[in-house]
Chains A and B, each alone.
Chain A
Amino acid sequence: MRAVGKYGPKDTPEGMRMEICERKEKGSVVIAITGKLDSFAVPELEKVVEENVSKGEKFLVFNLSGLTHISSAGLRSFLVPAKKLKTLGGSVTFVALTENISRILKTAGLYNSIFKVYDSEKDAIEANA
Chain B
Amino acid sequence: MKITAGYWLMETDKIFKMEIPGRMESIPRILCFLSEAMEYFGMDEDGVFDVNVAVDEACANIINYSCALTQSCAFDYSCGSREIEVTASRRGGLFFITVANRGEYFDPTRPVAPDISSDIDERKVGGLGVYLIQQLMDELRYEYKDGIGTLTMGKRLPESTPV
Contacts and interface: CB of A to CB of B under 8 A. Distances in A.
B53 interface: yes
B31 A16 contact: yes
A48 interface: no
Given A71-B60, A100-B46, A12 B28 contact: yes
B28 A109 contact: no
Contacts of B53: 69-71, 104
A21 interface: no
A12 B52 CA distance: 15
A70 B129 CA distance: 11
A41 interface: yes
Interface in B45-71: 46, 49, 52-53, 56-57, 59-60, 63
Classify chain A: how many residues form its interface, as a range: 20 to 34
A56 interface: no
Interface residues of B, number: 34
A75 B125 CA distance: 9
Contacts of B32: 12-13, 16
Contact of B117 (A36, A41, A109): A109
B120 interface: yes
Interface string B93-117: 0000000000000000000001111
A107 B135 contact: yes
A9 B117 contact: no
Interface string A1-27: 000000011011100110000000000
Interface string A41-70: 100000000000000000000000000111
B56 A38 contact: yes
Contacts of A73: 60, 129
Contacts of B120: 82-83, 86, 114
Contact of B28 (A17, A68, A110): A17
Interface string A114-127: 10000000000000
B76 interface: no
A88 interface: no
B140 interface: no
Interface of A: 8-9, 11-13, 16-17, 36, 38-41, 68-73, 75-76, 79-80, 82-83, 86, 100, 104, 107-110, 113-114
16 contacts: A9-B25, A12-B32, A16-B32, A38-B31, A39-B60, A40-B26, A71-B53, A72-B60, A73-B60, A75-B128, A79-B125, A83-B125, A100-B49, A104-B132, A110-B116, A114-B119
Given A12-B28, A12-B29, A38-B31, 13 more contacts: A9-B28, A13-B32, A68-B49, A69-B56, A75-B128, A79-B125, A100-B49, A104-B132, A107-B116, A107-B136, A109-B115, A110-B116, A114-B123
